[in-house]
Amino acid sequence: MSFEIRSKDLLGRIGLLRTRHGTLETPLLLPVVNPNSQIIQAKELRNTFGFDALITNSYLAWRRFRHEEKVPAIHELLDFDGVIETDSGAYQILQYGDVEVKPKEIIRFQEKIGSDMAVILDVPTGHEVSEKRAKWTVDETLRRADEALQSITRNDILWVGPVQGGSFQNLVAYSAREMAKRDFSIYALGSPTPIMQQYKFDVLVDMIMAAKMNLPPHKPLHLFGAGHPVMFALAVALGCDIFDSASYALFARNGRYMTVQGTAKFEELEYLPCNCPSCHNKTPEDIRKLIHADQEKFLAAHNLHVCHNELQTIKQAIVDGRLWELVEVRAKSHPALQSGFERMFNYSEELEKETPVTKRKGPFIFDLNSLKRPEVIRHQENLLSRYVAPTRAKTIILIPESDLEPFRADPTQPGRLRRIEQRNDMHICAYGLVFGIVPQELLDVYPLSQTEGSISAVTGAVSYVQERIVQYLRNFSYKSCIIIVKEPWQLKIACSIQTKFKRRMKVRIFEAKRLDQKLVAQVLRTVGPRKGHVRIS
């Protein structure tokens, strides 16, 4: 097994997972195929829908062929020439409490039928169980993992080590740490389905991160039972590489039409908000004229197309460095998903570590939530821990970024700040609503001048900027500070800073309509001991 990471953004990555039946690109969805009944034939999944891999239940196949002398290979049974992962019957344990097959027996069976990827027979924690019961499922799954590793004879199969613990973060973390000591090719987070069905995306975020932070980063993470496109971007941003689900078929059976904004009842649709191959040039009325079986197949096909398209969208977002924006947009689809997005902020440190320093495109800043993204946090942390201010600078000049950046880019207005720039005892910095404070010499460093923002001067944003400026000024030993203001929110910040630092440094405020030579001259004349607030008409 090898897993090569091609591109990263946040904790999401595009990877190449090599198997016996070909190389898979992650993130990927494994559609669940019932070996005994297929609403869409397995070979169609690859030839028509673009899925190079699927997952099926080896326990169901075992029940069907356990008394047969000759058992067909799983690829022959499903008529599928791509990659096949087999589950072991754990879903049936979750649903019915037990299965007839033994853990070693299902391992031998999966080796016999030639699975490409295979899951050991773990014990799912499920939902709404006691912590004692949850701990037992973790310990029993670890015991079975040890037993499985001693029983496995085929090393050309990628074996999956499940992590359990349910909604108990401490148990998920413990399970992940212990499972990481066992050499599985892939790790998987179990028991998330009830959490997702109840739209508890904030709990799901904590579960995923409890596992992710304790598993080897160089191996794929499989999120069992995740199959709705509305949450793919969030899960990928948290580091999930593989998904599997029968939701495309189950939703179709219940007359449900998937979109990246949520699920619609097909009977209520007056239009098809999609142009996938299944929906192209069709109307809901066209589909309602079909017999029920064909309606169900139409919905299943559409649902597959939507899932596949969303994964392609996510991959392009990773390449472009726009995964945060995609998650932010998808989070607006449902309040519960927004809650999950905001819970992600608790893991800013982990997200920042894996986010590239430079990207193809600059970030978009939409609102206060955008200020939690890694690029913004990284700038502030680096400014306080790695940046060294000019050693001779005794006075810092804070200029609104709207004045400083256009001036620097406008060749028709040279020299406005040259008289200040030539003095080594004065240091020019920009301040604004996104990055707080930016030294002039760093303005061209990514992403400081490549960012586009539409954030307004609401109370939270103003407080954010003020806090950043205060942290910066406390970190360096300027003797005086001059703040140029044009708007009311800037004056509010300036007055607050003047109050906070009145015993430490001289803070002078210049309220002006524009940055010009007259203002520069006034600033230079007042660099001395003069205090107060100067208004320039």
The DSSP secondary structure of 243-289, one letter per residue, reads EEESHHHHHHHTTEEEETTEEEEGGG-SS----STTTTT--HHHHHT
User: Looking at the predicted structure, is the pLDDT value of residue 530 above 50?
Assistant: no
- Other C-beta atoms closer than 10 Å to the C-beta of 309 total 15
Q: Tell me, what's the pLDDT at 416?
A: 67
User: Looking at the predicted structure, is the pLDDT value of residue 284 above 50?
Assistant: yes
User: Looking at the predicted structure, is the pLDDT value of residue 533 above 60?
Assistant: no
Count of CA atoms in the C-beta half-sphere (13 A) of 460: 7
pLDDT in tens, 354-404: 999 999 889 999 989 999 999 999 999 999 999 999 988 999 999 998 877
Strands 117-119 and 83-87: parallel
- Give the range among 44-58, 137-151, 182-196, 393-407 with minimum mean pLDDT: 393-407
Q: Tell me, what's the pLDDT at 405?
A: 64
365-535, CATH topology level: Rossmann fold (3.40.50)
Which residue shows structure tokens 């191996």?
219
User: Looking at the predicted structure, is the pLDDT value of residue 173 above 90?
Assistant: yes
Q: Tell me, what's the pLDDT at 458?
A: 78
In degrees, to the nearest 5, what angle opens at C-alpha 378 toward C-alphas 376 and 382? Answer: 125
Check 9, 52, 87, 244 and give the catalytic one.
87
Report the predicted TM-score, pTM, of the whole model to 2 decimal places: 0.91
Domain residue limits, the chain: 2-346, 365-535
Q: Tell me, what's the pLDDT at 412?
A: 47
User: Looking at the predicted structure, is the pLDDT value of residue 526 above 80?
Assistant: no
Give the pair of three-digit tokens for residue 57: 């239940």
Identify whether 27 is preceded by a cis peptide bond (ω within 30 of 0): yes
Q: Tell me, what's the pLDDT at 529?
A: 39
Helix (H) or strand (E) holding 517: helix 517-525
- Give the range among 29-38, 222-231, 415-424, 468-477 with minimum mean pLDDT: 415-424
User: Looking at the predicted structure, is the pLDDT value of residue 523 above 90?
Assistant: no
- Give the range among 34-38, 81-85, 355-359, 387-391 with minimum mean pLDDT: 34-38
Percent of the chain with pLDDT over 90: 76
User: Looking at the predicted structure, is the pLDDT value of residue 534 above 70?
Assistant: no
Q: Of 441, 320, 464, 450, nearest to 380 (Cα)?
A: 464
Q: Tell me, what's the pLDDT at 537?
A: 42
Q: Tell me, what's the pLDDT at 507?
A: 92
Q: How much is the average pLDDT of 174-195?
A: 94
Asked about 87 being catalytic, the answer comes back as yes
- Taking the C-alpha atoms of residue 355 and residue 349, their distance in angstroms, rounded to an integer, is 10
Q: Using the CB atoms, write b or e for 98-115: b if 16+ within 10 Å.
A: ebebebbebbebbbebbb
Higher pLDDT, 96 or 49: 49
Count of positions (residues) in the chain: 537
Could you tell me which CATH number the domain at 2-346 has? 3.20.20.105
User: Looking at the predicted structure, is the pLDDT value of residue 410 above 60?
Assistant: no
Judge whether 2-346 and 365-535 match in fold.
no
User: Looking at the predicted structure, is the pLDDT value of residue 160 above 50?
Assistant: yes
Q: How confident is the model at residue 94 (pLDDT cuts 50, 70, 90)?
A: confident
Identity of residue 291: I
Q: How much is the average pLDDT of 421-429?
A: 85
Q: Tell me, what's the pLDDT at 388?
A: 93
- Taking the C-alpha atoms of residue 289 and residue 283, their distance in angstroms, rounded to an integer, is 10
pLDDT, the chain, mean: 91
